[in-house]
Structure 1
Amino acid sequence: MEEIIIFDVQGRIIEKSNPNYNSLTLNLSQYKPSVYFIQIKTQHGLVTRRIVKK
């Protein structure tokens, strides 16, 4: 993974990181219940997924 961005439904960036590993564990405990999106950039392309924090 080259870059990970978590953003809210308004498109505001909540967290951004540049990890140098191939697995990911997210700790969402500091986030309010809502819908978030995670965007993962790799050498093969870009993937965006929706996350629902209850």
Structure 2
Amino acid sequence: MTISDWTREAIEAYLPESSEPRRFGAAAAGRSGRSDISERIEEILRGEWDR
């Protein structure tokens, strides 16, 4: 048994069983809500650099 297998079994035993997929709250932590960031990155960095 690998450490990964042992860890997986321990987590499965500890967490309650659920029929719906779990959502990770941290997954969207870096979202800005804007869709043009990658297109404007140079402008944004230039503005931050001048501060």
TM-score, structure 1 length as denominator? 0.21
Name which structure has the greater RCO, CA cutoff 8 Å, separation 6+.
Answer: 1
Structure with higher strand content: 1
Structure with higher helix content: 2
